[in-house]
Structure 1
Amino acid sequence: MTEDLAGLVAVVTGGASGIGGAIVERFAAEGAKVVIADLDKERGTELAARLGSSALFEEVDVSDPDRIERLVARAVEAFGGLHVMCNNAGISGSMHKDFLHDDLADFHRVLGVNLLGTMAGTRHAARHMSEHGGGSIINLSSVGGIQAGGGVQSYRASKAAVIHFTKSAAIELAQFGIRVNCIAPGNIPTPLLSSAAATMSPELAERFTRTMRESMEADRPLRVEGKPEDVAEAAVYLACERARYVTGTVLAIDGGTVAGKPLRPRRKKPVEG
């Protein structure tokens, strides 16, 4: 590790597990003090305990802007400042047979967590950063926010909105030395996909998850499976001084998925002679 984040204080929402957990661990390894914000108290507390004095856990529902305000205040109080805000918390919403059968019952919850939570996290972090020399805000979108497709339409809409919001906030907050960037992961094994099948029977949910994973692999040009740690690597870059000239960008960590369909492997011609 290079300790790129030595002396910095970071908040990671949805930081108890999955991509958020990987970001928390990598931030701490790079020298940052990290506030883990999540609804999963058990995992969040366990992770904070494992990281020792480098981390603390706060139970937070990011869809409540007032709670986000207190979260930022807690980071400043506990560690003396806030330099990096990573708005990672997100939910997928329920999977339906097709959009015609989508009752939109989870629309407000999905938008509340994925979009409102990101906007509130950006706003409250920026209020502190604007008076203390700037900082880096990293918002987590998805390849589903870049590339159109069927299923979980509320989720796709929320993640597309995160991208447009990120670019708009980057323009407005640049005057304060605040960089705002977006990471769009794709085909990363996390519990998020399984949560989309929460209303299905165990057998159907297992088959659904397996089928989706196989489909994602088939759509990925790079023959390498992505890991949460790959996203964490990108988050470290966007958080540190090496990215001082980078703002308003969307970095896809997806094995080339949004670039286009993979080519079929060429058959080797038999050697003549």
Structure 2
Amino acid sequence: MADELSGKVAIVTGGSVGIGRAIVERFHAEGARVVIADTNRERGAEVAEACGTGAIFRYVDVADLEQMADLITFALDAFGALDVMVNNAGISGTLHRSILHDDLADFTRVMSVNVLGVMAGTQFAARHMAENGGGSIVNMSSIGGIQAGGGVMTYRASKAAVIQYTKSAAIELAQHEIRVNCIAPGNIPTTLLASSAAGMSPEKAERFAAVVRETMRADRPLDREGTPEDVAEAALYLGSERSRYITGTILPIDGGTVAGKPVRRRADSNGKAVSGRA
């Protein structure tokens, strides 16, 4: 399809890199006017310039409630409407040796960006949408919020909170024709993984990332690796009229990881292909 978002106005937080940038570019290509909200001024301005007419950058720290309220006003002043709100901005936590060694020093910041930012973006956007015929809100979680596991515990907790908040908001806002859905990416190459390795030497961080990627690959039923563009396609679907009867949904974009362990093709003693669990 083309021009699925023609005439629509969208805000994408964390829109300067990775998944956020892919969503901005996809939305803009489908005819939306887009506000790119981020703390990275240089990259945000670069994305806006690359998109051209109909895309503008706004510096926003999503953990700051005043800035988030101003973001909605900015979009309305610039484009006169707000139809789709994508609460994508998020940060990882610092990786610790174990839960016993986690000093929780990053708890407040991770929760403020990943949870408060989503809650504020949802609420402030919904206030406008409720008075103007409804709209679509897309929140970004992670398969780390669905599946339990070790490491980056605060991050996992924050993404689980996004899922529960999304479902609750969807129930309450349905009466206003506002759909609230959630995407849970997994195994998508972004800069988020590198941030978990903060404090490591470049060589150690690279080895760490390689090990994590290999573990993800082994847990993924689909052989191919996902891309930010795959997530952007899901955001487009949830932001468009194609999903007009969908709300409160959590959509993993993860190559089947949360569905279960992969079945790999292997050969038996006679060289015949057989299936087996990884």
Shared fold, TM over 0.5: yes
User: Matched residues in 2 for 1:110 and 1:117: separation?
Assistant: 10
Structure 2 counterparts to residues 55-204 of structure 1, below 5 A: 55-204=55-204
| Structure 2 letter corresponding to 1:98 | S
Residue 50 (1) aligns with residue 53 (2): no
Secondary structure, aligned partner of 1:58: strand
User: Matched residues in 2 for 1:19 and 1:263: separation?
Assistant: 28
Secondary structure, aligned partner of 2:179: strand
Secondary structure, aligned partner of 1:96: coil
Q: Which runs of 5+ in 1 are unaligned?
A: none
Query: Cα offset for 1:203?
Result: 1.4
User: Matched residues in 2 for 1:154 and 1:270: separation?
Assistant: 47
User: Matched residues in 2 for 1:79 and 1:153: separation?
Assistant: 39
Aligned to 1:258: 258
Aligned to 1:8: 8
Query: Cα offset for 1:270?
Result: 4.6
**TM-score, with length taken from structure 2:** 0.96
Q: 1:202 to 1:270 in 2, by over 3 A?
A: closer
User: Matched residues in 1 for 2:155 and 2:271: separation?
Assistant: 49
Identical positions, percent: 67
Aligned to 1:233: 233
Q: Which runs of 5+ in 2 are unaligned?
A: 273-278
Query: Cα offset for 1:206?
Result: 0.9
User: Matched residues in 2 for 1:244 and 1:102: separation?
Assistant: 43
User: Matched residues in 2 for 1:266 and 1:198: separation?
Assistant: 38
User: Matched residues in 1 for 2:5 and 2:206: separation?
Assistant: 39
Deviation digits for residues 28-64 of structure 1, max 9, x if unmatched? 0000000000011110001101111120000110001
| Structure 1 letter corresponding to 2:226 | G
CA RMSD across the alignment? 1.0
User: Matched residues in 2 for 1:180 and 1:220: separation?
Assistant: 27
User: Matched residues in 2 for 1:144 and 1:31: separation?
Assistant: 32
User: Matched residues in 1 for 2:65 and 2:199: separation?
Assistant: 28
| Structure 2 letter corresponding to 1:21 | R
Secondary structure, aligned partner of 1:184: strand
User: Matched residues in 1 for 2:145 and 2:257: separation?
Assistant: 13
